[in-house]
């Protein structure tokens, strides 16, 4: 998963796509960054769409800020790393709801924003994009 993504769909569209209830007030966000709140459906409560902070704070961290380095888990190493292994073993996972994600291309000396939509669809719900990730703490 990248460090930025967006969820701009209407609340009605989201509720039709997932058999879940929205717990907190929903606001579309066109640039969800680490530490911001994002809509997720957890394995523990699959009937609720909740808002969690984007980022993984390891249980050993003294401060929330320490965990902001752990944003992504690679499939190849997720069961080897002490940050992610306990979460996987205890099924502490969630779906992160997103329309698209943002990547950056190098253009000359600078960078250009590139929004990727609909390429990682895991559930057939029109153009909705659902990204699998670990549960946010």
CA dist 133 and 42 (Å) reads 10
pLDDT at residue 51 in the model: 94
pLDDT at residue 89 in the model: 83
Asked whether the whole model's pTM tops 0.75, one would answer no
Structure tokens belonging to residue 110? 């600078």
Q: Is the CB of residue 46 less than 8 Å from the CB of residue 20?
A: yes
Instruction: Show me where the domains of the chain are located.
Output: 4-134
Name every residue whose Cβ is closer than 8 Å to that of residue 85 and which is 6 or more positions away in sequence.
Answer: 78, 79
Q: Is the CB of residue 35 less than 8 Å from the CB of residue 4?
A: no
pLDDT at residue 41 in the model: 92
Domain 4-134, second-level architecture: Alpha-Beta Complex (3.90)
Q: Are strands 48-53 and 21-22 parallel, antiparallel or unpaired?
A: parallel
Q: Is the CB of residue 114 less than 8 Å from the CB of residue 105?
A: yes
DSSP 3: S
Each of the 137 residues of the chain gets a pLDDT tens digit; together they read 567 888 988 999 899 888 899 999 999 999 898 888 999 998 889 999 999 887 777 666 677 666 566 666 777 888 888 877 887 888 777 888 988 878 777 778 888 777 776 533 333 333 334 444 333 22
Burial label, 15 (beta-carbon count in 10 A; 0-12, 13-18, 19+): middle
């Amino acid at each position: 998963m990248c460090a930025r993504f967006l969820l701009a769909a209407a609340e009605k569209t989201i509720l039709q796509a997932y058999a879940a209830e929205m717990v907190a007030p929903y606001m579309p966000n066109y640039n969800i960054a680490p530490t911001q709140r994002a809509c997720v459906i957890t394995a523990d409560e699959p009937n609720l769409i909740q808002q969690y902070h984007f980022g993984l704070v390891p249980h050993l961290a003294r401060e929330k800020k320490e965990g902001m380095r752990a944003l992504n888990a690679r499939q190849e190493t997720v069961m080897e790393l002490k940050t992610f292994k306990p979460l996987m073993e205890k099924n502490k996972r969630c779906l992160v709801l997103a329309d698209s994600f943002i990547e950056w291309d190098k253009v000359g000396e600078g960078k250009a924003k590139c929004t990727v939509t609909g390429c990682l669809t895991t559930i057939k719900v029109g153009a909705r994009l659902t990204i699998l990730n670990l549960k946010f703490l």
